[in-house]
Amino acid sequence: MTSCTDSNCLFCRIISGDEPSTTVYEDDKVLAFRDKFPAAPVHILIIPREHIATLNDTEPKHAELLGHIMLTASRLAKELDLADDGYRVVMNCNRQGGQTVYHIHLHLLGERPMRWPPG
Ligand code: 5GP
Ligand code: ZN
């Protein structure tokens, strides 16, 4: 079930199976997998199968996809029993935002208290 084949992109390689990852959920639009360097006891990345480099590159045609990514986070949080205690979702954009992989991804972080404001 692949649709993104940019071999220069780490997350496209994860989608194509060329790079290993631990899948938590997948469907025809998104893939969710464990972060390799977790910043919390639960740290999942939810990515679209379509290669979109940054949030700046999204357009109105991506509205349903972006909603689906957010709803996937909400559903996974419930399934992983994070919902009642709480959790954080984050999408970093470009250098000042802390983005290091240029294929949009929503971080789902849980099972520890989150500080605000973030560093
Ligand atoms: P960003 O900094 O772009 O918002 O988030 C990129 C995330 O990808 C980081 O949390 C980082 O730990 C994670 N990451 C980097 N390389 C890999 C990898 O090879 N596999 C997985 N599963 N996660 C990775
Ligand atoms: Zn990509």
| Cβ of 70 below 6 Å from ligand 1 | no
For the question of residue 105 being annotated catalytic, the response is: yes
Ligand 1 nearest atom to the CA of residue 43, by list position:
10
Predicted model pTM: 0.96
Listed residue (16, 22, 14) closest to 43, CA to CA = 22
Q: How far is the CA of 64 from the centre of ligand 1 (A)?
A: 24
Topology, domain 10-110 = HIT family, subunit A (3.30.428)
Structure confidence by residue, pLDDT tens digits, 67-85: 999 999 999 999 999 999 9
pLDDT along the chain (119 residues), means of 10: 69 97 98 98 98 98 98 98 98 98 98 95
What pLDDT is recorded for position 8?
93
Q: How far is the CA of 57 from the centre of ligand 2 (A)?
A: 13
Q: Is the Cβ–Cβ distance between 62 and 52 less than 8 Å?
A: yes
